[in-house]
Amino acid sequence: MARLPLIGAGAAAVALAAVLIGMHPPSQRPQPQPAQATVQPPAPAQVAAAVCSAPSQLTRFTHRLPRLADRIAHREPITSVAFGSSSTAGVGASSPAATYPARLETLLKERAEGTIPIAVLNRGVGGEEIRDMLVRFERDVIAAKPDLVLWQLGTNSVLHDHEIGGNGALLAGALARLKATGADVVVINLQYAPKVLAHPAVATMVDLISATAKAANVELFDRFAVMKYWRETREIPFETFLSPDLLHMNDWGYDCVAQLLANAIADAATRAPLTAGVPTTPVTARR
């Protein structure tokens, strides 16, 4: 792919979209298979029938990502930090390469076609709630000087039936700290899974995360709504996108989340500063 000179905002949006989104979709590759015999993957026909998609109103970010846009315009390396708990660490995935941060890094690199160095650092630790994450916030996030932070949170407080209200202030303070560094920020909420839905505070946490992200003017990737769409609208069985524990995602689930995130990031990072309208038709993840 030919290297492009720095150009004005309008033309750059078109040219840079070709860099990240890609004029030619990456080739299809088989899904990784679970390494442990005790993990039963979905039947091949079942997975093949489940196309990774979600409506754009659930996945398209409201605003452009200005820090990423600037890094792309100057062909500078991009560092992202995936911060969170077991969904970030990758419990349920068959290997580290099948976690959502690893898949996201691969997909973004494929779109950049070697023109921009891209790294997605996995900073997930299983079992943590927001207050636990904040203990390692400076070391695992701020110290990396990220251009983009993807913060997955909320599930463990619900699973443990802990008090929810205080999380809003903790999250708001941390988001303000992140924004002060100049990083773009995306918050990722709970997974839609039977073991999460069994707890009464799930709706409260979903609403709290959404309201706090909106007040902080950072982007929300509504994983809860996306997975709910898979199950309730498309009637995809839980077993297709969840591991046998019916809590964590499996390889298909992590990969689809990574695809949808890659599309959302590429769109928001190459979007012109001023946009009009948000499409509402379903978006199929580009591979």
Number of helices (H), then strands (E), belonging to the chain: the values are 15, 7
Query: For 103-130, what is each residue's pLDDT tens digit?
Result: 999 999 999 998 999 999 999 999 999 9
The CATH H-level superfamily of 51-269 is SGNH hydrolase (3.40.50.1110)
Q: Could you tell me the CA-to-CA distances from 150 to 85, 87, 120 in Å, in that order? A: 12, 12, 9
**What is the model's pLDDT at position 177?**
97
Q: Quick one: tokens of 70?
A: 């600037």
**What is the model's pLDDT at position 279?**
46
Can you give the residue ranges of every domain in the chain?
51-269
Query: For 159-213, what is each residue's pLDDT tens digit?
Result: 999 999 899 999 999 999 999 999 999 999 999 999 999 999 999 999 999 999 9
Rounded Cα gap, residues 254 and 181, in angstroms: 28
Q: Quick one: tokens of 208?
A: 């709290």
Q: Which residues of the chain have pLDDT under 50?
A: 1-19, 21-40, 45, 275-276, 279-283
**What is the model's pLDDT at position 275?**
46
In 3D space, the residue among 34, 44, 50 whose CA is nearest the CA of residue 238 turns out to be 50
**What is the model's pLDDT at position 236?**
97
**What is the model's pLDDT at position 184?**
98
**What is the model's pLDDT at position 271?**
87
In 3D space, the residue among 70, 102, 81, 36 whose CA is nearest the CA of residue 254 turns out to be 102
Helices (H), 160-276: 167-180, 194-197, 202-216, 223-228, 238-241, 251-269
